[in-house]
A and B are shown apart, each in its own frame.
Chain A
Amino acid sequence: MRSHLSDFKKHRAARIDHYVVEVNKLIIRLEKLTSFDRANTESAKIRAIEKSVVPWVNDQDVPFCPDCGSKFSIRNRRHHCRLCGSIMCKKCMELVSLPLASKLTSASKEALSSHTSPSSSPNSVHGSRRGSISSISSVSSVLDEKDDDRIRCCQHCKDTLLKREQQIDEREYTPEIVKLYEKLRLCMEKVDQKAPEYIKMAESLNAGETTYNLEHANDLRVEIQRVYEFIDALSKKILNLGLHEEPQPHPKTLQLQRMIRYSATLFVQEKLLGLMSLPTKDQYEELKKRRLHMAALEAHRRQEEKQKDSTSRSVAAVNGDASNLKKGTVRKSEGWLPTSSVSRQCEIADPLLQQIDNITSFIKQAKAANRLDEVRMLQENLRQLQDEYDQQQTLKAIELSKKQAEEEEMQREELQVLCEKEWEREHHKFMSQHSRTHSLDFREVKQHQHEVTKENQNLIAHGLDLDITQMKGNPSSETTAVQQLPAKDNFIFPVKPQNVPQHDKDQNRAACLNPFEDETDTPLSEEDPANPFAKDISPLISFSNAIVQSDKKEYNPFENEEDEQTNGASVSTSNPFEEDENPCQKSGGNSGNPFEEGSSTNPFEVEDGNEISEEEAIEEELLLQQIDNIKAYIFDAKHSGRMDEVEVLTENLKELKYTLAKQKEKSNC
């Protein structure tokens, strides 16, 4: 590496000095020329003043126009540049209008107070010069107009002035995309900052530790979640900038917007996946108790096993290593869900213990060999393993103890699913109308027209997941749809028992930020497709497209799963999220479920909802509830001064009220 910057600067400084002096000279003269009232001064006097500003070149010295070379004569008269005094013919003459002059002079006055060099603000941005004064004035259809309110000058001076004007414009103008982008980056930074903190909390809480406060963690979670919504909405806004304007933006601008959106999507995907859910209050209490209990039990057991296993070490080491490695790849730097790694390890409980033992012995050996780094590393390793084992044991215990509560939980679960579905449908509506513009890859979307049928199927898909007996008390109209399919229910039954207890363990699913929530449910009701492999390598299949494609580029991993669902599901062919390429949208749909609890806040969710169509009958009660929620959000947003949010929310509120009114109308007639 070698820097030429100082050399470069040296050469540039020499040149720039010259240039700046030139520009300033012109501007000073311009100011002098415009400092008096031209309209009310007689032309002779004007001429005198003009001549005093800059000495005019002698007429005799210039027989030809220096710019175009035509000979001066009585017909082709000489004109003097008022800024530099040079001579040109009428054709080559330019005019500077008074507004432009005052713009230039006033800007340079400002500049003197704040800036010294023309480019001292490197972040100055480019604006469209479409509306600027100069472009109007430079239309030189001026032959018959009075020249008095314009200043004659040569092309060279005019060029310099125009360049200067452009710089001024650029400095003052911040395009929309920059504003949005800056906000977007702020949000991303916030996530980078908050997410690790949250993950630490969640891990600890899920392990039943008491280091952190559960409510505190929940707040943080909601906060992070909101930032994600922001990122998504902002990037979407960037994507759509200028799309409806005429003329269309330059392809490169569009490309830039697409790339920003793409990278935001990547960001959200990567980070969001790392966010784990929190235990509910009750679960947390349980976890705490269990942890205490298990800790004691654990210590005892470990000691026993240690003695037992020392002989079969070599074989176990291989197994243990393998499993451990596998786990390592699962983990992301941002965090992993302890539940899953634990459940994985349920199957290999023995290897885990063996591994712990192995590592203990390794530490011993390493200590003996005096390799301190290794000891430290191994100890770290050991600690992790033990933690995991603890968690695993804890969860096992919880599972047992929760059998009692199963029934209730199931009921709750299903109620929730129905409500969620309700919400998703609105959401889905919106998406199907807008996915053309909102989607990242603009692929053809054909779902819209099939909406109604699909919704029915959608109901089925969800219905399948439910135990029919639990449905009876449910007030919502979907029950009928489910009851039409008793056979399918039978099919799903064997799956159910395993599902539900896990749900309990996995905490309150409605509050979960995991965007895959629905996916994890839905595939349960799917039948195994005939040729799954082909589909797996074809995540880019669009819904109505039967062609099997293979994935090369990464667009959106979520599509993959969507396709699997749509393809693989013979029962639930349609997926409400098929068109939705956006994880945030999805998570919004789930997490923002306002019907279940008021704690989740999701302004953009609601924004999406403002396309709610009338044919969707939303229950009044729920609407009212939602309105209340939104009011609360608005208050909150106002309180903390997030005005942009307030705006969006208010819009939303209006929409909801409107819907409510419609609803009432309908029910009245």
Chain B
Amino acid sequence: MNAVLAVKQYVAKMIEDSGPGMKVLLMDRETTGVVSMVYTQSEILQKEVYLFERIDSFNREPMKHLKAICFLRPTKENVEYLIQELRRPKYSIYFIYFSNVISKSDIKSLAEADEQEVVAEVQEFYGDYIAVNPHVFSLNLLGCCQGRNWDPAQLARTTQGLTALLLSLKKCPMIRYQLSSEPAKRLAECVKQVITKEYELFDFRRTEVPPLLLILDRSDDAITPLLNQWTYQAMVHELLGINNNRIDLSRVPGISKDLREVVLSAENDEFYANNMYLNFAEIGSNIKNLMEDFQKRKPKEQQKLESIADMKAFVENYPQFKKMSGTVSKHVTVVGELSRLVAERNLLEVSEVEQELACQNDHSSALQNVRRLLQNPKVTELDAARLVMLYALHYERHSSNSLPGLLTDLRNRGVSDKYRKLVSAVVEYGGKRVRGSDLFSPKDAVAITKQFLKGLKGVENVYTQHQPLLQETLDQLIKGKLKDSQFPYLGPNTLRDRPQDIIVFIIGGATYEEALAVYNLNRTNPGVRIVLGGTTIHNTKSFLEEVTAAGFRGRSTESSQAPPRPSSRR
């Protein structure tokens, strides 16, 4: 149950199978992302792969002394490109790997194009998803639904991605889905269909407890992607944006050329691997340690120079030292930028109110705090809008709801129309009417007691009180308490034991806060292994784009009191 490892093994196998000699890796746009998530360039170089090419690139020179490893999605365009390639082969021999199930007819047309007999291998290697962390994967799809229905192309892609994950992890799961969501049901059915059709592929060794696939819908929890984050990975994504492990720092003031874009990968960055789930304060002190450690290793201090042994140790450490200096400068820059943004945007205060809106039920205090922050000039447009969105979601049906007043405040503040419309769009997307589970008020006695006790003890960290709904859902699932009425099984069979291997997929995108929750669940529940996936990994900005793309454009702020009505643009 390690997504990164699974993809890594695929790539390693591909390269290994092609034998010795100079190689070129031919990929398409998506598989380039898949491979780059799990391997660095120098790692691949050591395996004699010297060139990386796109199949659709026209600037490729014939190099008959190279072997070509083609790792492609089995799309129509790719097959067509490949046919062209085989008609006039540019490389001596081709090893072809498709990232998903390919049709027999495509195989036939490829075979017929291979007049020069340059193809040595044709296989399916199911690396058809972006392995973000060992327990997190994404499909990098934005805007998967139109209204409350799937975009057909995206549904097909999501089905492919999800089945590829199942195949690569060697799981043939039972499927549960969120009843309140139509897309969840559709996806569940599509996955089931593929499993039935390709039953040979899914014929894995049976485990005692069959694995479980749980399909959820983002609209059930629109709160989580709206919150500011304080753990490293989530925070970087929220404030800077992570795109296939890459972070664009070009907008950071005074950034040096080499740090315009940095890569944060837990696979080959020890510091990041150790700190990605820690909160900002801890990172601050860890980065201080890292720097101190680094300074210690630095050979130039006078007392260090006195001992040649130290020099020698330094020299031996060189690769590590070298790597470390890169790591230090990278993380210092990133953390520095984060703290600059925190100060500039007044994020501590904003986040405190956000957490209050998400976790507590004191309407008047919340309203007061939101109003106060809306007057604060340091609070950005986005943060102001998200506060109002959180308010709108939480107190949607509250008797003294003063959303119109807040919207007026937003307008007076000069927040653009786009954001003001988004407030109602978000409510449309994830409001009470849509939700299958109760996001705010605890539903049973146990939960109420829990919250009461929490209130008594006081919260440990005011900025990280919020627990995503997913945490609760998975917790119940692990305990075997998740209600069949809300999350029914697809098909007649149900699971009698507690599930052990769980794949949970969120239509509309997961978040890094949820990734953290899953990480913690994996850690605290031995025997349970959870992998989290989503059509994408969201931060607030991308989530709002998702909402817009789904067609919830919201109404103009003046008429916002009318009850929300799902738009039907299709």
Interface residues of A in 154-210 (CB under 8 A from B): 167, 170, 174-175, 177-178, 181, 185
Q: Which residues of A contact B318 (CB under 8 A)?
A: 273, 516, 557, 561
Q: Which of B13, B116, B299, B317 contacts A523 (CB 8 A)?
A: B299
Candidate in A167, A330, A548 with the most chain B CB atoms within 10 angstroms: A330
Q: Are B45 and A344 touching (Cβ within 8 A)?
A: no
User: Is B333 at the interface (CB under 8 A from chain A)?
Assistant: yes
Determine how close the nearest CB of chain A comes to the CB of B116; give it in whole angstroms: 6
Q: Which of A266, A332, A337, A568 contacts B45 (CB 8 A)?
A: A266
Interface residues of B in 70-120 (CB under 8 A from A): 92-93, 101-102, 104, 107-108, 110-112, 114-120
Cβ proximity bits B265-306 to A, threshold 8 Å, 1 near / 0 not: 000000000000000000000000001001100111110011
Q: Which residues of B contact A175 (CB under 8 A)?
A: 65
A-B contact count (CB 8 A): 236
User: Is B368 at the interface (CB under 8 A from chain A)?
Assistant: no
Q: A11-B108, A125-B64 are in contact. Are A551 and B258 (CB under 8 A)?
A: yes
The CA of A182 and the CA of B230, in the complex, are separated in Å by 52
Determine how close the nearest CB of chain A comes to the CB of B282; give it in whole angstroms: 20
The CA of A262 and the CA of B49, in the complex, are separated in Å by 12
User: Is B561 at the interface (CB under 8 A from chain A)?
Assistant: no
Determine how close the nearest CB of chain A comes to the CB of B332; give it in whole angstroms: 8
User: Is A603 at the interface (CB under 8 A from chain B)?
Assistant: no
The CA of A273 and the CA of B312, in the complex, are separated in Å by 11
User: Is B320 at the interface (CB under 8 A from chain A)?
Assistant: yes
Q: Which residues of A contact B115 (CB under 8 A)?
A: 15-16, 19
Interface residues of B in 34-66 (CB under 8 A from A): 42, 45-46, 48, 50-51, 59-66
The CA of A605 and the CA of B122, in the complex, are separated in Å by 47
Determine how close the nearest CB of chain A comes to the CB of B516; give it in whole angstroms: 27
Q: Which residues of A contact B50 (CB under 8 A)?
A: 256, 259-260, 263
Q: Are A340 and B312 touching (Cβ within 8 A)?
A: yes
Q: Which of A4, A167, A495, A520 contacts B123 (CB 8 A)?
A: A4
Determine how close the nearest CB of chain A comes to the CB of B62; give it in whole angstroms: 6
Interface residues of A in 1-20 (CB under 8 A from B): 1-5, 7-12, 15-16, 19
Q: Which residues of B contact A533 (CB under 8 A)?
A: 291, 294-295, 298
Q: Are B309 and A346 touching (Cβ within 8 A)?
A: yes
Q: Which residues of B contact A266 (CB under 8 A)?
A: 42, 45-46
Q: A252-B61, A528-B302 are in contact. Are A537 and B325 (CB under 8 A)?
A: yes
Candidate in B60, B312, B316 with the most chain A CB atoms within 10 angstroms: B316
Determine how close the nearest CB of chain B comes to the CB of A135; give it in whole angstroms: 15
Q: Which of B107, B116, B306, B320 contacts A498 (CB 8 A)?
A: B306
Q: A263-B50, A330-B313 are in contact. Are A122 and B120 (CB under 8 A)?
A: yes
Q: Which of A10, A119, A552 contacts B116 (CB 8 A)?
A: A119
User: Is A99 at the interface (CB under 8 A from chain B)?
Assistant: no
Q: Which residues of A contact B112 (CB under 8 A)?
A: 11-12, 15
Q: Are A526 and B308 touching (Cβ within 8 A)?
A: no
Determine how close the nearest CB of chain A comes to the CB of B55; give it in whole angstroms: 14
| CB closest chain-B residue, reference A536 | B325
Q: Are B22 and A343 touching (Cβ within 8 A)?
A: no
The CA of A9 and the CA of B112, in the complex, are separated in Å by 10
User: Is A529 at the interface (CB under 8 A from chain B)?
Assistant: yes
Interface residues of A in 513-565 (CB under 8 A from B): 514, 516, 519-520, 523-524, 526, 528-529, 532-533, 536-540, 548-554, 557, 560-561, 564
Determine how close the nearest CB of chain A comes to the CB of B233; give it in whole angstroms: 20
Q: A266-B42, A502-B308, A550-B258 are in contact. Are A123 and B300 (CB under 8 A)?
A: no
Interface residues of A in 485-527 (CB under 8 A from B): 494-495, 498-499, 502-503, 506, 514, 516, 519-520, 523-524, 526
**Count class of interface residues, chain B:** 35 or more
Q: Which residues of A contact B320 (CB under 8 A)?
A: 329-330
Report the count of interface residues on A (CB-CB < 8 A): 91
Q: Are A8 and B22 touching (Cβ within 8 A)?
A: no
The CA of A524 and the CA of B20, in the complex, are separated in Å by 45
Q: Which residues of A contact B61 (CB under 8 A)?
A: 250, 252-253
Determine how close the nearest CB of chain B comes to the CB of A3; give it in whole angstroms: 5
User: Is A433 at the interface (CB under 8 A from chain B)?
Assistant: no
The CA of A554 and the CA of B258, in the complex, are separated in Å by 11
Q: Which of A1, A252, A260, A330 contacts B60 (CB 8 A)?
A: A252
Q: A516-B315, A557-B319 are in contact. Are A529 and B92 (CB under 8 A)?
A: no
Q: Which residues of B contact A263 (CB under 8 A)?
A: 42, 45-46, 48, 50
Determine how close the nearest CB of chain B comes to the CB of A26; give it in whole angstroms: 14
Cβ proximity bits B111-139 to A, threshold 8 Å, 1 near / 0 not: 11011111111111110000000000000
Q: Which residues of B contact A529 (CB under 8 A)?
A: 300
Q: Which residues of B contact A5 (CB under 8 A)?
A: 121-123
User: Is B201 at the interface (CB under 8 A from chain A)?
Assistant: yes
User: Is A362 at the interface (CB under 8 A from chain B)?
Assistant: no
Determine how close the nearest CB of chain A comes to the CB of B290; give it in whole angstroms: 12
Q: Which residues of A contact B45 (CB under 8 A)?
A: 259, 262-263, 266
User: Is A387 at the interface (CB under 8 A from chain B)?
Assistant: no
Q: Which of B42, B257, B298, B321 contacts A554 (CB 8 A)?
A: B42
Interface residues of A in 412-429 (CB under 8 A from B): none
User: Is A379 at the interface (CB under 8 A from chain B)?
Assistant: no
Q: Which residues of A contact B92 (CB under 8 A)?
A: 122-126
Q: Which of B125, B258, B319, B323 contacts A1 (CB 8 A)?
A: B125
| CB closest chain-B residue, reference A174 | B65
Q: Which of B21, B122, B325, B333 contacts A539 (CB 8 A)?
A: B325
Q: Are A336 and B316 touching (Cβ within 8 A)?
A: yes
User: Is B259 at the interface (CB under 8 A from chain A)?
Assistant: yes
User: Is B256 at the interface (CB under 8 A from chain A)?
Assistant: yes
User: Is A269 at the interface (CB under 8 A from chain B)?
Assistant: yes
| CB closest chain-B residue, reference A537 | B329
User: Is B307 at the interface (CB under 8 A from chain A)?
Assistant: yes
The CA of A269 and the CA of B45, in the complex, are separated in Å by 14
Interface residues of A in 124-152 (CB under 8 A from B): 124-127
The CA of A10 and the CA of B262, in the complex, are separated in Å by 47
Q: Which of B21, B46, B124 contacts A2 (CB 8 A)?
A: B124
User: Is B239 at the interface (CB under 8 A from chain A)?
Assistant: no
| CB closest chain-B residue, reference A327 | B313
User: Is A218 at the interface (CB under 8 A from chain B)?
Assistant: no
The CA of A10 and the CA of B258, in the complex, are separated in Å by 51
User: Is B326 at the interface (CB under 8 A from chain A)?
Assistant: yes
Q: A1-B124, A344-B313 are in contact. Are A119 and B118 (CB under 8 A)?
A: yes
User: Is B328 at the interface (CB under 8 A from chain A)?
Assistant: yes
User: Is A339 at the interface (CB under 8 A from chain B)?
Assistant: yes
The CA of A11 and the CA of B110, in the complex, are separated in Å by 9
Q: Which residues of B contact A560 (CB under 8 A)?
A: 321-322, 325
Q: Are B64 and A552 touching (Cβ within 8 A)?
A: no
Determine how close the nearest CB of chain A comes to the CB of B24; give it in whole angstroms: 8
Q: A329-B320, A549-B256 are in contact. Are A256 and B51 (CB under 8 A)?
A: yes
User: Is B482 at the interface (CB under 8 A from chain A)?
Assistant: no
| CB closest chain-A residue, reference B270 | A329
User: Is B311 at the interface (CB under 8 A from chain A)?
Assistant: yes
Q: Which residues of B contact A126 (CB under 8 A)?
A: 62-65, 92
The CA of A18 and the CA of B264, in the complex, are separated in Å by 53
27 A-B pairs within 8 Å (CB atoms) are namely A2-B101, A4-B102, A8-B114, A11-B108, A12-B117, A125-B64, A125-B92, A251-B59, A252-B61, A253-B63, A256-B50, A256-B51, A256-B63, A266-B46, A330-B320, A344-B313, A494-B306, A514-B315, A524-B305, A526-B300, A533-B294, A538-B329, A539-B322, A551-B326, A552-B330, A554-B322, A560-B325
Given A2-B124, A4-B122, A263-B50, 14 further pairs, Cβ under 8 A: A2-B201, A7-B111, A9-B111, A170-B64, A178-B65, A252-B51, A270-B319, A336-B316, A514-B315, A523-B311, A533-B298, A536-B325, A549-B257, A552-B259
Q: Which 4 A-B pairs have the closest CB atoms?
A: A126-B64, A343-B309, A11-B111, A537-B329
Which chain B residues have a beta carbon within 8 Å of chain A's beta carbons?
A: 13, 20-22, 42, 45-46, 48, 50-51, 59-66, 92-93, 101-102, 104, 107-108, 110-112, 114-126, 201, 256-259, 262, 291, 294-295, 298-302, 305-309, 311-313, 315-323, 325-326, 328-330, 333
